Chain A
Amino acid sequence: MNLLDYENMRVIWWLLLGVLLIGFAIMDGFDLGTAILHPFVGRNDAERRITLNTVGPVWEGNQVWLILGAGAIFAAWPVIYAVAFSGFYLAMIVVLFALILRPVGFKYRSKMPGPRWRATWDWLLFAGGSVPALILGVAVGNALLGVPFRFDDTLRLDYEGTFFGLLRPFPLLCGLVSVAMLTMHGATWLGIKAAEPVAGRARKIGSFAAFAMVLLFALGGFWVIRIDGYQTIGFYAHDLDSNPLGASVAMVQGAWLSNYARQPWMLLAPVIGIAGGLLAAWGLAQKHHGVAFAASALALTGVISTAGLSMFPFLLPSSLDPGSSLTVWNASSSHLTLVIMLIAVVVFLPIVLAYTGFAYRVLRGRVTTEQVNRERSSY
Chain B
Amino acid sequence: MNDQLVELSRIQFGLTAMYHFLFVPLTLGLSILLAIMESVYVMTGRPIWRDMTRYWGILFGINFALGVATGLTMEFQFGTNWAYYSQYVGDIFGVPLAIEGLSAFFLEATLVGLFFFGWDRLSKLGHLVVTWAVGIATNLSALWILIANGWMQNPVGAHFNPNSMRMELTSFRAVFFNPVAQAKFVHTVSAGYVTGAVFVMAVSAYFLLRGRNIEFAKRSMAVAASFGLAATLSVIVLGDESGYTASENQKMKIAAIEAMWQTEPAPASFTAFGFPDLKHHETHMAVRVPWLLGLIATRSYDTEVPGIENLVAAAQNRIRSGMLAYGALVQVRHDPANQAARATLAAHANDLGYGLLLKRYTAKVTDATPAQIVQASWDTVPNVPALFWAFRFMVAIGIVLLGFFTYSFFSVSQHLKAGPKWFLYLAICMLPLPWISSELGWFVAENGRQPWTIDGVLPTFLSTSSITAGDVWISLIGFIVFYTTLAAVEMYLMVKYIRLGPDEHKSVEPMPVLTLPIISPESVL
Which A residues form the contact surface with B (CB < 8 A)?
39-46, 48-49, 56-61, 63-64, 66-68, 70-72, 74-76, 78-79, 81-86, 89-90, 92-93, 96-97, 99-100, 102-104, 106-108, 111-115, 118-119, 122, 153-159, 201, 204-205, 208, 240-243, 333-334, 336-337, 340-341, 344-345, 348-349, 352, 355-356, 359, 362-363, 373, 375-378
Contact = CB atoms under 8 A, between A and B. Distances in A.
A64 B112 CA distance: 12
B79 A107 contact: no
A159 B76 contact: no
B507 interface: yes
A340 B505 CA distance: 47
Interface in B446-493: 465-467, 471, 474-475, 478, 482, 486, 489, 493
A337 B101 contact: no
B489 A108 contact: yes
A333 B102 contact: no
Interface in B116-174: 116-122, 161, 163-166, 168-170, 172
Given A76-B94, A334-B168, A344-B103, A44 B516 contact: yes
B164 A334 contact: yes
Contacts of B163: 240-241, 243
B286 interface: no
Contacts of A40: 519-521, 524
Contacts of B170: 336
Contact of A58 (B107, B113, B508): B113
B287 interface: no
B103 to A, nearest CB: 5
Interface stretch (B37-45, B60-68, B388-396): B60-68
Given A90-B475, A355-B107, A67 B101 contact: yes
Nearest to B105: A64
Given A63-B68, A84-B79, A363 B508 contact: no
Given A100-B72, A355-B107, A74 B169 contact: no
Contacts of B520: 40, 43, 201
A58 B4 CA distance: 42
A55 to B, nearest CB: 10
Contacts of A89: 80, 465, 467, 471, 475
Given A40-B519, A45-B516, A340 B471 contact: no
Interface stretch (B82-90, B308-316, B402-410): B82-90
Contact of A337 (B66, B91, B493): B91
Interface in B249-303: none
B73 interface: yes
Interface in B491-525: 493, 496-497, 505-509, 511-512, 514-521, 524-525
B106 A96 contact: no
B78 interface: yes
Contact of B80 (A68, A86, A158): A86
Contacts of A377: 58, 61, 116-117, 119
A310 B497 CA distance: 53
Contacts of A363: 113-114, 117-118, 121
A44 B515 CA distance: 6
A345 B102 contact: yes
